[in-house]
Chain A
Amino acid sequence: MAIVEKPPTPLELAPAPVVVPRQAFGLYKRPVSTTGWKSWLFTVDHKKLGIMYGVAAFVFFIIGGIEALLIRLQLARPNGTILSAQTYNELFTTHATTMVFLFVMPMGAAFWNYFIPLQIGARDVAFPRINALGFWLFLFGGLFFYLSLFLGGLPDCGWFCYAPNSGAVFSPTNGVDFWAIALQITGIASLTGSINIIVTVLNMRAPGMTLMKMPIFTWMVLVVQFLLVFAIPVISVALFLLTFQRVFGATFFDAAAGADPLLWQHLFWIFGHPEVYILILPSFGIVSEILPVFSRKPLFGYPFVVFSGAAIGFMGWGVWAHHMFASGLGPVSVAVFSATTMFIAVPTGVKIINWIATMWGGKIRFTTAMLFSIGLIVEFTIGGLSGVTHAIAPSDWQQTDTYHIVAHFHYVLFGGAVFGIFAGFYYWWPKMFGRLLDEKLGKWNFWLMVLGVNLTFAPMHISGLAGQSRRNYIIDDVQGPWVTSMNLIATIGAFVLAVGVLIFIINVVKTARGPRNAPLDPWDARTYEWMTTSPPKEHNFDSIPPVHSIDEFFHRKYAEDHDTGEIRKVATAEEIMAEQEANADKHIHLPSPSYWPIVLASGVPVIGLGLIFSVPLAIVGGVIVLLGAYGWALEPSVADDTDFDPPAGGPSKELSTVG
């Protein structure tokens, strides 16, 4: 549909200069098509990249879900025989790695890629090609991870991959190598992405949008980007050390050579705990957008929600050793981390109370997006409270590495992060695709998932307290009837959950086949991203209206009568849109698509394969990366006229003809 604007040529102003083909050997033409598969492969549009992030992450979600179902089948009855010990150990490793690194993180990236520029009134992110590079690195990293299945076996060391069990002696297949290098690759994606979003948010906001007038989702995502910038390098270092140990025989974590294996644990959790907030804060942002819209009230205590998010971002760095209470830290460390862990519950609690206060006194409309948001409040509260029980270090000495912990973090991550993601799907689907997801199927989707989550994970609290240890490929009658019965219930629950997810997929297919039925403003929304068409045009906004308040869109639609205090509607969404189109900017410059991000990204997994199998291959990968970087650096941000076929020669395309 939309066409990338061809660059204005100097033709209008001056006689044409001599046209010299820029492309090497006359063969290379820059990609400029805006439809068809090439427009996706070489795109630098944040919206297309957001959708691709979402699709890829959802596919990984399904893969991770199937792994979870296999695990649950194995544990349904004592001494399960569906999986061997080795396969089971591989599956819980891939399940967690997939869900954390290949589903929840990139799904957050899907939302923030798509909506941050729209929420702040920007036409794209600050570095569009780096944005594309990030997506391709994530995708190639994920594919590289699963390549291990065909090249010697999946990793079997757990997503935490503790040393020395991660060493070549104890995990002799290449699985751990694939794991470490895959996470290294997705880590580059996160790191480049986070710098990109920080620069975008700090520099490209609409006129008048001060930091404290930013939509709350943008705020939470900004906090996440700072967490990523500081957390990813820590895991990168740890993964480098691990790769050097496994590939080149270094001894960083080799106890037999005198190393202290706890080094790995500290590095992993200094990354790993901020990672938890990286996973949850985008969902907190999403529901903080949705609750006000469907309560028809502003977010209660916006500054408190912002500051509590920032506080979580800071305090999240001081709690990592609560994952290590039983690892043999001294009592002073244990006491300090026990206390800091308890107090990080405060800013989280503040958020929950503010969400409830947002609903209080409102007029709540129970759309599916709202149900998932309320679901998040309830389920996350359960996860948060069980979290307090293991902030108590002595209590954690009993609970750690039992299913009580499994129950806790699944309430936090499924009931929290994933519910927020589904709320975001239902809320923003009409904006992204111009179609409303079916609300009736949505209700089924929601209630089955709520039932499924509680049926799966609530029993694990009990089986954990009854002594069920984690990462065991079988349960045994000797553990007692509480363990065996709760595991059976959890397995049934997992399948209920799967049906809930299946209904979502059916809903998506049904909606995609249906008409473009979404009105411009289906939810009576409040924020900036709704002040454009659905789906947004290639350039997002025809003009960038200035911002006066947090809920800019709402305040353009409604005004308070100073005498009566009555709130009246003063404009419709269509009127606001029409005004924007009337004031459309004449020349809008968007960067052109580029081959280089995908070319550069494709070299990185080749380096990884080379490290594992043969160093010359790594050199080939390095050459691809280097060439990609050169091509990239020498490429202008917009395509030359001669890149178009037929070459653009006329005056610049006006927006009215862009369509």
Chain B
Amino acid sequence: MSNRGRRAVAGAAIAAGLVLLAGCGDSSPLDTWNPKGVDAQKIHDLQWWVFAIAGIVGIVVFAVVAVAVVKFRDRGDDRLPKQVHGAPKLEVAWTIAPAVLLAGIAVPTLAAVFDLTKQDDPGFEITVIGQQWWWEYQYRGSYNGQSLDGIVTSGEMVIPAGVRVPLRTTSRDVIHSWWVPALNGKRDAVPNRFHDWNIQAFEPGDHLGWCTEFCGLSHANMRAHAVALTPENFVAWAKNQQKPAAKPTDPTALQGMGVFAAQCARCHTVKGLTQTVKDPTTGVETEQPVIAAPDQQLVSGAAPSLTHLMSRTSFAGAIYDLKKPGCTNDPAYDQAYPTGTAGNCLNRADMESWLRNAPEMKPMYAQLNDDKKYRGMPALGLSEQQIDLLVAYLVTLK
């Protein structure tokens, strides 16, 4: 029996050690013990010693249990042990002791709750909007004199490093939760509610995030990125984001634009996209802006804006790489990122498969519901030629 008791203690110690080790790997992009921003750092400063105290309490309890089962095991004589019924003073003591210990933990905890909920005012804020199964980010305000008003992006939230940015989270359909563990804890995105939150990164870099509130079929395929840029790069990025898309000059891309306007623009916005409309009575042809109407097609009423597609690193709810690894691993990528990378950078294979049959690449409801609306992107039944043309157009959207 004694061996078993010891083994139990050894097992517990190993388990505790493994838990501590988990904090050490940089190979886990979602590691909650590897803070890269001020809020995550504050959480970490609080939690590591709570884990340590819990670990110590655990080891003490297991040790006492081990001693008890070894020392007081039945050795075969038939006499009953002393029938002790209790010791009230002792009992009061071990009721008060954990209460005092917990009070000691409670004080810094409560302070941290209020500290982490306080918001800074850097002059702008980002509204984070969840929907099945991707994130949209809307910017408002200005940074270093550069206006950010009207910037709408998806998949990747772009922030200037070192700035604690106020976030407002909400949702267009069910409840989601936005979480980039390297930078902060998570906050639910609830329809009809706006939840204030913060994000800050110490250094420029790309941090992975994950939706953490069960949001239906493709919950596992709803990721996020928080990309921190240097202040200069952030301004450059913002400038680029505010430009409308230029009309392509390449004839293939121009044809692709036509396919886009016919097939994709029902849901997806491209700012600056126009098409020639002939007035049925006068016969006069004019260039009219193409207005997406995702609210008539989708339950959430929104689809990602694609105006600056090539200034992102991922697509389809941030689950597929938009660029080839050879391109993103290039040191020059950081400079190219804010204003969009060249077309040859595109991860064509995944993008073409996506255009061919999106619900096969990511589970979505490919059927219309009772209200004649989709949840997620349906299979469009495009021909291979249409796909080639579309890709030629998409790579021009920087």
Contacts and interface: CB of A to CB of B under 8 A. Distances in A.
Interface of A: 84-86, 89, 158, 162, 164-165, 169-172, 255-256, 258-262, 295-298, 300-304, 326-328, 330-331, 334-335, 338-339, 342-343, 345-346, 349-350, 352-354, 356-357, 359-366, 374, 377-378, 381-382, 385-386, 388-389, 392-402, 404, 454, 458-459, 461-462, 465-474, 478-483, 558, 560, 567
B279 interface: no
Contacts of B32: 398-399, 402, 404, 465-467
A480 B185 contact: no
Interface of B: 1, 8, 11-12, 15, 18-19, 21-23, 25, 27-33, 40, 42-43, 46-47, 50-51, 54-55, 57-58, 61-62, 64-65, 68-69, 72-75, 79-88, 90-91, 94-95, 98-99, 102, 105-106, 109-110, 112-114, 116-117, 169, 171, 173-175, 177, 179, 181, 184-188, 190-193, 195, 208, 210-220, 299, 363, 369-371, 375
A473 B363 CA distance: 11
Contacts of B214: 89, 158, 162, 165, 401, 470-471
Given A366-B1, A466-B32, A258 B110 contact: no
A343 B99 contact: yes
Contacts of A374: 65, 69
A400 B113 contact: no
B113 A334 contact: yes
B370 A172 contact: yes
Contact of A474 (B54, B62, B173, B220): B220
Contact of B95 (A164, A304, A480): A304
Given A394-B47, A398-B43, A465-B33, A335 B23 contact: no
Given A469-B210, A567-B80, A397 B186 contact: yes
Contact of A389 (B21, B54, B193): B54
Contact of B18 (A158, A162, A330, A458): A458
B86 A303 contact: yes
A66 B108 CA distance: 44
B65 A326 contact: no
21 contacts: A84-B363, A85-B218, A89-B214, A162-B213, A165-B216, A259-B192, A301-B88, A328-B190, A331-B113, A335-B113, A339-B106, A342-B109, A363-B80, A395-B47, A461-B18, A466-B28, A467-B29, A468-B30, A469-B179, A471-B219, A560-B83
Contacts of B43: 394-395, 397-398
B311 to A, nearest CB: 21
Contacts of A480: 25, 27-31
A388 B54 contact: yes
A255 B131 CA distance: 13
Give the dominant DSSP class at A's interface: helix
B220 A381 contact: no
Nearest to A165: B174
B31 to A, nearest CB: 6
A257 to B, nearest CB: 10
Given A397-B43, A459-B18, A473-B220, 5 more contacts: A164-B174, A170-B174, A328-B190, A349-B98, A366-B74
Nearest to B375: A170
A385 B61 CA distance: 11
B123 to A, nearest CB: 24
